[in-house]
Amino acid sequence: MSFLPFGRNTPPPAVEPVRTAFPLLRGAEIAAACAGQPRGGDFYDSIRINSVRVLFGLLDVAGHRADNQEILARAQQVFREAGTDLLTPSEINESDAMAGVCLRLNRALMETAGAVHSCPAFAGCYNEDLGTVCYVNAGHTPGLVRDSSGAAELAATGLPLGLFSHVTYDSPTVALPPGAVLLLVSRGVVEATRAGEEYRLERVKDVLRNDTGETAHGLCATVIEAAQTFSGPQPDGNDLTALALVRARR
């Protein structure tokens, strides 16, 4: 005879990701914002790895959030564990380490879902001493970097996570000089629509170029508000999420 561990009519406890508490940075700030309660698979996280490195990421797990709690929780667990294992040693190749983090995350997504489960993702390691970000863009909306020369895109460096068991990821490094900004937005932001027209990444760039604030959270809020103003209420639309890393001006 078998027994249900939580009682015949009692469901097991919900598996949910841990709420993100963004780490404090030296001479910089990192923050994120989402319009209302997430309903899709948008998920962001960030942890301090050591005295120099901070890991952060924005993921878009396919499907509705109510059905994805176990996958999201497992993704966060592996993201943090792999980041700690691979990025903690002081003498490492950050590019190899970031590729390794994404490989572990890719495997965990497929194992937890039990099948192919698409997850575009942007993951980065910010080095406070160098003012650089080593990143992987796994089929995600391009990241945007604004500095004194303008706004540039950080395009995809590999396929979305969760699609293939054998996959490789390039992990380039970008410099963030004092006053520079790295902005990530979810697919829901660029695909917000009005009368059949999408908001698009170019409008996000315009907001980034014209933003005069110097806080990461303020920029995220401005980006989301601009997309909402363009599209109006979209109760069945995608999540609107933004994450920003802002270096202070000297």
**Is the residue at 10 inside a domain?**
no
Give the count of domains, the chain.
1
Burial code (b: 16+ CB inside 10 Å, e: under 16) for 4-24 equals eeeeeeeeeeeeebeebebee
Which domain covers residue 139, as residue numbers?
28-247
**Is the residue at 6 inside a domain?**
no
The model's pLDDT over 176-218, given as tens digits with 9 standing for 90+, comes to 999 999 999 999 999 999 999 999 999 999 999 999 888 999 9
The model's pLDDT over 87-112, given as tens digits with 9 standing for 90+, comes to 999 999 999 999 999 999 999 999 99
- 19: tokens are 């709420």
CATH number for 34: 3.60.40.10
| Residue-level pLDDT at 129 | 97
**Is the residue at 231 inside a domain?**
yes
What is the reported pTM? 0.91
CA–CA distance, 215 with 24 (Å, rounded to integer): 13
**Is the residue at 16 inside a domain?**
no
Dihedrals φ, ψ of 174, to 5°? -120, 140
**Is the residue at 3 inside a domain?**
no
The model's pLDDT over 62-72, given as tens digits with 9 standing for 90+, comes to 999 889 999 99
**Is the residue at 210 inside a domain?**
yes
**Is the residue at 9 inside a domain?**
no
**Is the residue at 154 inside a domain?**
yes
- What residues contact 203, with CB distance under 8 A and at least 6 apart? 226, 227, 230
The model's pLDDT over 120-136, given as tens digits with 9 standing for 90+, comes to 999 999 999 999 999 99
Q: Is 209 helix (H, G, I), strand (E, B) or coil?
A: helix
* DSSP 8-state assignment for residue 236: T
Tell me the H-state helices in 114-234: 187-190, 200-210, 216-231
